[in-house]
Chains A and B, each alone.
Chain A
Amino acid sequence: MTVQGLRTVTSAQNGAGAFILQCKRLDLHYNLQGASSHGLRTFVQTLLPKFARQYPQIEFRVSPTPKKHPVVRGHYINGREKPICVRNMQPNEILKKVILLKEASGEKNRRQSKPVRSLNESVRGIWSPYHGDLRGV
């Protein structure tokens, strides 16, 4: 056998071809009586139906949690989750938080110094000191 094939797996580039929204589920937990949950209760009744229809990719779960502050929790494709406490927030503020969870990728927040990250090799090649003409000192 002259040449063997090495087995690898292609790596995903979400958005290069198909785009899949990384937020797959949103859990909304609120208290039935609590005053801190008032905003989330109003949000669920007023703004949530429209938002859910706008983003059918996301599964929504609404459930009361007794004696707890309200929480919105996003579940992501990569298996991580992102909880945000929304106590004493107005429905509009909660909508902003929900949009934040929807737009997030689920990755941990990291500092990144370079704007572009690439899997491709350098198009023009890497500079080599052994090629090209000698330069006069």
Chain B
Amino acid sequence: MKRLQLQRWSNSVLSTRARTGSHLQHHLYNAVRRQSSTAAAVQPEFSTGEAEHETFEEIKLKTILRRTHSRPNQLKYPSPPTHAAHESAKLAALHARLYLPSRLPYETLARTLVDASADQDPNFNNESLSTLGHDLLTYYTSEHLICTYPRLPLSVIFASMYAYVGPKTLTAMTREWGVEHASSPGGEVDPGLLQFQRLAPGTELQEKEDGPRPYQSQPHWRKTVTSKIFYDNEFGDTAKTAAEGVSADQASATFVRAVMSAIYLHAGRPAAKRFFQQHFLSRHLNMAELFNFEQPTRDLTRLCARENFERPVAKVIAETGRKSRHPVFVVGIFSGQDKLGEGQGASLSEARERAAVAALKGWYLYSPLNVRLPSAMEEDEAAPWKPVHVDLGEVIV
């Protein structure tokens, strides 16, 4: 609180005729402090010109007076008023930090920071923006994944979608963009802070009771991967809701999606695509770490049968210390003359499993050269479309 008080004082400091605060000023200042959680809303409007120098103090006093009287006005609304967006230093800094296009106004950026739990009015919160942004993000990510890795199993596609545009990733991005959370939403909050009604500690997120899935209420109901495509979201999760408030993860994810759609709406599709490539696709993800096989040898046999390869045979390539405490076996899996994969382990079966995993990953992680995405056709004068190769997917056992 002390520092906030100091920030208020800095206006008088900057003028050459600094004066100590009178009683009236103290009163006004205190009123201002209660009004604002940060000092940004109390920014005075004075120009650098020397002509206004004599009226400097008066202007300042007037500003403070006006703001003090507008306090009930500010408290009237659940989110900061629109004109506050131009006075927030945090918001301007965020705009510049993300190199957002100049056509994207501060007001829209301020709106992306207001969650639906903070302001119910759909004209002032980011719910509609985030719906569009969510669609854009999932579209660009899924087309990138499916065209670059056309043989990925569906469960791995779900996992990689989660890794690229899942709520955890979006929360991390919000942090890396330097966005701070407001402790509680309100009209007096700096518009550069992320505003949402926090979830009460210990609240359990409930699955929606009346989900679209039939037989949901039956015990031992198994969710298949195919049903996840129809009924669940892009990560294979069922939607969960809480009675009041959202978690910080949800609010951050909504914010990032809203920024994406704000760029799309104000600056156009190419800008949105570039933003997606620079902020989302440039992040590091090792696709080979997303796989978890239960019975890789069985899967590989089925895969070879499906693709009309010869039946896979495991052969020992090299070994050392078979009768020692630390034996090492190198096992390769061959289909006819072709070596499909190779693994190394402390026992023959372990090495064989690893070889099968390597062979399966080599198959599933195939990536063609010169991938062209379907969204490239949206540009003007695009070359005629050639269909991309998308494989059958995983083997079904």
A and B touch in the complex (CB under 8 A): yes
Chain A residues near B (Cβ < 8 Å)? 1-14, 16-18, 20-21, 24-25, 29, 32, 44-45, 49, 56-65, 77, 119-121, 128, 130-131
Given A5-B158, A20-B98, A130-B344, A12:B93 Cβ within 8 A: no
**Residues of chain A within 8 A of B54, CB atoms compared:** none
- Chain A residues within an 8 Å CB radius of B98: 18, 20
- CB within 8 A of B394: which of A3, A62, A128? A3
Residues of chain B whose beta carbon lies under 8 Å from any beta carbon of chain A = 3, 6-7, 9-10, 13-14, 18, 39, 48, 89-90, 92-93, 95-99, 153, 155-160, 162-164, 166, 168-169, 172-173, 175-178, 225, 275, 277-286, 289-295, 299, 317-318, 320, 328, 330, 344, 360, 364, 394-397
- Residue pairs across A and B with Cβ atoms less than 8 A apart, 13 shown, are A1-B294, A2-B153, A2-B295, A2-B299, A2-B396, A3-B364, A5-B158, A10-B280, A11-B284, A12-B284, A17-B281, A17-B283, A62-B7
Closest chain B residue to A23, Cβ basis: B178
Whether A5 touches B175, Cβ cut-off 8 Å, given contacts A17-B277, A24-B97, A45-B14, is: no
**Also in contact, A9 and B97, with CB within 8 A (given A3-B156, A32-B18, A64-B9):** no
Please give, as numbers and ranges, the residues of chain A lying within 8 Å of B291 by CB-CB distance: 3-6
Given A3-B156, A3-B293, A130-B328, is A10 in contact with B163 using a C-beta cutoff of 8 Å?
yes
Residue of A11, A56, A128 touching B283 (CB-CB under 8 A): A11
The listed residue with most B CB atoms (<10 A of its CB), out of A2, A25, A59, is: A2
Query: Are A131 and B318 in contact, CB atoms less than 8 angstroms apart?
Result: yes
Is there contact, CB below 8 Å, between B176 and A12? Answer: yes
> Which chain A positions have C-beta within 8 A of B178?
20, 24, 77
Looking across the interface, which residue of chain A has its beta carbon closest to that of B286? A121
**B164 partner residues in chain A, CB cutoff 8 A:** 10
A121 to B175, CA, bound (A): 27
Checking A5, A61, A63 against B155 with a beta-carbon cut-off of 8 angstroms, the contacting residue is A5
User: Given that A1-B155, A61-B39, A63-B9 are known contacts, is A77 also in contact with B175, CB under 8 Å in the complex?
Assistant: yes
Cβ-defined contact, A5 with B160, below 8 A: yes
Question: What residues of A have a CB within 8 angstroms of the CB of B285 in the complex?
Answer: 8, 10-11
Residue in chain B with minimal CB distance to A14: B176
One of A5, A17, A58 near B156 (C-beta < 8 A): A5
Say which residue of A6, A20, A21, A63 sits within 8 Å of B292 (CB atoms). Answer: A6
Measured CA separation A17–B294 after assembly (Å) = 36
**Contact assessment for A4 and B292 in the assembled complex, using a CB-CB cutoff below 8 Å:** yes
A25 to B38, CA, bound (A): 14
Contact indicator B7/A61 (Cβ below 8 Å): yes
- Which partner residue on chain B sits nearest A30 by CB separation? B13
